[in-house]
């Protein structure tokens, strides 16, 4: 009996110590879980929802447009302006290098006065060769598009886009100082002829543009002069007769 009583006392003592500890370990997960859930809940409350967000303004450079279509239109307009400016710079550069002459330059008048004029503006050309064996005129080298003027007034006998090896050419028959004078202008630009066969022209009238058509080595005016049916040296004839 005594042994039984001792074992009972020991069992009670063990139970008294163990149960509070067991109870303590069972309550910790609940407390920890509650704390983590509370933390998550608290953090969730600090999120900013879309309706509360303020978007940063979009950067559109110098454009005042607000829609994609308007922005695209503005960009196209700016690109067109840039291309036009670039084209203007190229044209100016070409002119400085002796490039093509624009239609505005056709306002130039022929050099000289009276019944005989120079066929090209003064200072616009250089003479590479003139009348010699096998070559019937003077080659007046000038930029393509330089305006050509009638050296004499008279009637246009030839105005052709393909006049033998002369390419685009004009021939004018005149009477100067009681003599029959024919002047020929060759190698013009295709489509630049401003006169037609049978037309009467005045001295210094615009008739076409310097080109490189027919049997030609580069842009120039091949200019021929016949007096009473015979070829004469054109540059000397111009110097002697052009006012």
Average pLDDT of 226-242? 96
Q: Which of 55-64, 101-110, 199-208 is the least confident region?
A: 55-64
User: What secondary structure, in 3-state letters, does 112-152 show?
Assistant: EECCEECCCCCCCCEEEECCECCECCEEEECCCCCEEECCE
Q: How confident is the model at residue 74, as a pLDDT?
A: 76
CATH topology for the 103-241 domain = Glucose Permease (Domain IIA) (2.70.70)
Min mean pLDDT across 88-92, 108-112, 211-215, 225-229 is at: 88-92
CB-hemisphere CA count at 13 Å for 241?
21
In the chain, what percentage of residues exceed pLDDT 70? 60
Q: Which 3 state secondary structure label does DSSP give 149?
A: strand
Over the stretch 189-228, which tens digit does the pLDDT of each residue have? 999 999 999 999 999 999 999 999 999 999 999 999 999 9
* pLDDT at residue 37, rounded to an integer: 52
Cα gap 24→139, rounded to integer Å: 119
Domain chopping of the chain, boundaries? 2-52, 103-241
């Amino acid at each position: 009996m005594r042994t039984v009583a001792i074992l009972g006392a020991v069992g009670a003592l063990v139970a008294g110590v163990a149960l509070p500890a067991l109870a303590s370990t069972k309550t910790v997960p609940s407390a920890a879980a509650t704390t983590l859930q509370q933390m998550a809940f608290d953090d969730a409350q600090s999120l900013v929802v879309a309706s509360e967000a303020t978007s940063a303004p979009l950067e559109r450079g110098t454009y005042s447009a607000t829609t994609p279509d308007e922005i695209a239109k503005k960009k196209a307009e700016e690109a067109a302006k840039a291309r036009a400016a670039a084209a203007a710079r190229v044209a100016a550069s070409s002119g400085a290098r002796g490039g093509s002459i624009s239609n505005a330059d056709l306002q130039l008048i022929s050099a000289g006065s009276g019944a005989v004029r120079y066929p090209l503006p003064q200072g616009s050309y250089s003479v590479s060769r003139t009348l010699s064996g096998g070559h019937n005129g003077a080659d007046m080298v000038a930029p393509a598009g330089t305006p050509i003027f009638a050296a004499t007034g008279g009637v246009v006998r030839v105005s052709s886009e393909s006049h033998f090896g002369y390419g685009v050419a004009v021939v004018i028959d005149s009477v100067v100082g009681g003599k029959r004078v024919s002047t020929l202008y060759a190698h013009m630009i295709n489509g630049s002829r401003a006169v037609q066969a049978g037309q009467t022209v005045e001295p210094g009238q615009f008739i076409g543009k310097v080109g490189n058509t027919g049997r030609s080595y580069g842009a120039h005016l091949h200019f021929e002069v016949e007096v009473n049916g015979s070829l004469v040296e054109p540059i000397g004839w111009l110097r002697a007769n052009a006012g």
